[in-house]
Amino acid sequence: MTYALSDSERRAWLRLARAQNVGPVTFAALIERFHSASAALRELPHLARRGGAAADLRIPGEDEAERELETLHRAGGRLIASVEPDFPTGLAALDAPPPLISVLGRREILAREMVAVVGARNASALGRKFATEIAADLGQAGLAVVSGLARGIDTAAHEGALATGTVAVLAGGVDDIYPPENARLYARIVDTGAVVSEMPIGQKPQAKHFPRRNRIISGLARGVVVVEAAEGSGSLITADFALEQGREVFAVPGSPLDPRAKGTNRLLRDGATLTEGAGDVLDVLQPLIGRAFREPVDGSIAWGAVADDRREIKLREKIEELLGPAPVLVDELVRQCAAPAAAVLSILIEFELAGRLHRESGGRVSLG
């Protein structure tokens, strides 16, 4: 269901999304429970204390939210919430979607079908040439090309798709141009395509922001083409997100003597589509284009009243006992607790707001 946010609720969404320890999963759970960001904001301090927070939760004030909105507006950008009609359908289908994205440039491009092209920063000359050509060919076929504006393959992919439409997803704010040598490319993307970020405008990227950036790249697209990628690279993280999201993964084969081919060759062994040109991508994606993105498995929390009695205290103690530094599946946690899923998930949200819970890929959690 989509709807328009009032100005006051938009500020509340922004404050909740920027609140300490509130990520996409927690945000979605809070909206599910309290039905509005305004109501969730009132309950945040109480929930964090129940989860064992040692200090007050940092929640941006109304003035801070208003400043961010005004700064983005002056830059020519707009904040789009996940419930609004012009929020990208691929992102809206994620479990859970980013609550808000900032967009500079031509927002209408976000309604197009997209394919991601990503790869190594220290790309080979042949890798760059291939990325430019496949991006141009995919663009000519009607697809917008999304990538991360990084050096190497990302830059080549954006350059190849400038004439047909490209989207750059940044790890910092939409105004943060990195690397600096891509300033001219960034300006051309703003003119002809779009720049997207989950982070506040003015935010410098940190290491922890890049996986979130990669999740958005794959989430926007029907499929991810990996041109060159060493083992452990960010491009492989993007491919992993694509698999989790039900997207297609394409890999360009490379020489076994080139470390930049280790990751792509492993993707091929694991079942990715061998890709030698745009035709290989289009053969797989054409049947999917125009169809709705697969909706996420219903992960909503049926929030019941969890009474603050001895049963809840015992369940909280049991969850703390079962959790540790090693990630465990939430489903396994529910099974071992022998308790209603809603009660377990409620306590996990409180732990996360308290800054004690860490969410891992694949629906796993750990306690730090």
Q: Which helix (H) or strand (E) holds 313?
A: helix 310-322
Task: Please state, in angstroms and rounded to a whole number, the distance separating the CA atoms of residues 329 and 205.
Answer: 29
| 3-class secondary-structure state, position 228 | coil
Residue 315: what residue type? L
235-248 pLDDT, tens digit per residue, is 999 999 999 999 99
Task: Please state, in angstroms and rounded to a whole number, the distance separating the CA atoms of residues 261 and 251.
Answer: 10
Q: What are the strands, taking DSSP E only, across 184-289? A: 194-197, 223-226, 248-251, 273-274
Residue 171: what residue type? A
- Asked, as a colleague might, if the bond just before 342 is cis with ω within 30 of 0, I would say no
pTM for this one? 0.88
User: For the chain, what percent of residues have pLDDT higher than 90?
Assistant: 71
Whose structure tokens read 């997803």?
A: 169
**Nearest residue to 14 (alpha-carbon basis) of 93, 55, 73, 56:** 73
Task: Please state, in angstroms and rounded to a whole number, the distance separating the CA atoms of residues 205 and 88.
Answer: 23
pLDDT tens-place values along the chain, 368 residues long? 778 889 999 999 999 999 999 999 999 999 998 999 999 999 999 999 888 887 888 999 999 999 999 999 999 999 999 999 999 999 999 988 999 999 999 999 999 999 999 999 999 999 999 999 999 999 999 999 999 999 999 999 999 999 999 999 999 999 999 999 999 999 999 999 999 999 999 999 999 899 999 999 999 999 999 999 999 899 999 999 999 999 999 999 999 989 999 999 999 999 999 999 999 999 999 999 988 886 554 444 444 444 456 677 888 888 888 888 999 998 888 888 888 888 888 889 889 899 898 888 778 899 87
DSSP 35: S
DSSP 217: H
Q: Is 152 left (phi over 0), alpha (psi -120 to 50) or beta?
A: left
CB 235 within 8 A of CB 226: yes
Task: Please state, in angstroms and rounded to a whole number, the distance separating the CA atoms of residues 334 and 186.
Answer: 46
Task: Please state, in angstroms and rounded to a whole number, the distance separating the CA atoms of residues 101 and 120.
Answer: 25
310-346 pLDDT, tens digit per residue, is 677 888 888 888 888 999 998 888 888 888 888 888 8
- Domains of the chain listed by start with CATH number: 7-76 (no CATH), 106-285 (3.40.50.450), 310-367 (1.10.10.10)
**Nearest residue to 247 (alpha-carbon basis) of 269, 220, 274, 265:** 220
pLDDT, residue 294, reads 67
Length of the chain: 368
